Chains A and B, each alone.
Chain A
Amino acid sequence: MNAPTDQDLVRRSIMGDGRAFASIVERHTRLVYAAVRSVTGDNNEIDDIVQEVFIRIYRNLGSFGGRSALSTWIYSVARNHAINAVSRARPETVPMESAAPLESALPGPDAELERREALAALERILGGLEGRYREVVELRYLAERRYDEIAELLGVPMGTVKTLLHRARLKMRALLPEDDECGVRDDERRQAL
């Protein structure tokens, strides 16, 4: 059976179908994380902000007219919400409503600590990127979007995406620590070589 389209899921969500909205969330989780991270960087409130984004999306599904792709609309909502969250948090540290715990993402304290450390290490590399550079990198690596999809989300030509990504890689390469502990995609690099 074919997977339901985004439009189907939106229509069913508006009718109160919780399972349809859960599917929308599952499909777009990484996109929303990418949008939020490109504004806030990695921080402790990111899970909360992402959940707030999806709550906002649910409450405004009726205003999604289908003129653009659902992912484009969600990306725009997510970025705007993240910008507001950052500006809200700056004058004083007002705690937001607590995020619901993400049980399957937290297998245990040790694993969570390891995850936080890995993210902090990546943030040392990504933190040097600003604006569009960071957006493109988050969309490419976290949301795992193709060049043409990134171009559509950002409203720029595909050549611009390639240029931004190339420059971002050069900037990040300069910040990369010398030690190499990660074994992921080793085989791919060997193939490239």
Chain B
Amino acid sequence: MRDDRRCERYEELLPDLLDGILPEDHAAEVRGHVERCDACRRSLEALGRLERELCRLPSLTPDGAAVAAAVTGRLGLERRSRAASLVHSLPLERLALPLGIAAIVLSTFRYFGGMAERLTAALTSCLSGLAGAFEELAATSPSAVDSSALYLSSALILIGCAALSLTALRIVRR
């Protein structure tokens, strides 16, 4: 049976009961009233139905991954990591061709010119900051310098090929 003043008070608490935020003693009191009062039970049932309807909203909304894919697509952003972004930002495209040519020319000198060995060895020394050590090594063991130059030449050929391949790949992708 409805008692307007009491029902009004309990009705205020029904949403909290549904949210599960009512302290247990209050919740028990409200549940007890609802069991005895048809009007408040109907009210609670209607609120529960409303709650269930509203709780469908997230499932009816596009998910974050789909929206992120669409937005990054529209922005022209690739979903790459920071490391990948840094690599991407390097001027590889401009450097690749001259680097590749220089590497192959240097390595060719190694095999076809008497000067090439000295040039390669000097370049190695300059780059590594070990010129003095190399001169000493050359005086005592010329074959060691020759081996170092051979390794350097091989490395340069590999770098050259990689750089030229990268350039070719970029041209093809365009």
Question: A residues within 8 Å of B by Cβ?
Answer: 12, 15-23, 25-30, 33, 47, 50-51, 54-55, 58, 99-105, 115, 118-119, 121-122, 125, 137-138, 140-142, 144, 165-166, 169, 172-173, 176, 180, 182-186, 188-189, 192-193
Contact = CB atoms under 8 A, between A and B. Distances in A.
Nearest to B41: A193
A92 B141 CA distance: 87
A58 B17 CA distance: 41
B70 interface: yes
A104 B47 contact: no
Contact of B44 (A15, A47, A121, A192): A192
Nearest to B80: A18
10 contacts: A17-B80, A18-B80, A19-B81, A21-B72, A25-B71, A29-B63, A100-B70, A100-B71, A105-B66, A169-B47
Contact of A103 (B34, B46, B66): B66
A172 B64 contact: no
A153 B70 CA distance: 26
B58 interface: yes
A91 B80 CA distance: 41
Interface residues of B, number: 47
Contacts of B79: 18-19, 22
B26 interface: no
Interface stretch (B48-56, B101-109, B129-137): B48-56
A115 B60 CA distance: 6
B57 to A, nearest CB: 4
A45 to B, nearest CB: 14
Contact of A141 (B57, B81, B82): B57
Given A18-B78, A192-B18, A47 B71 contact: no
Contacts of B44: 192-193
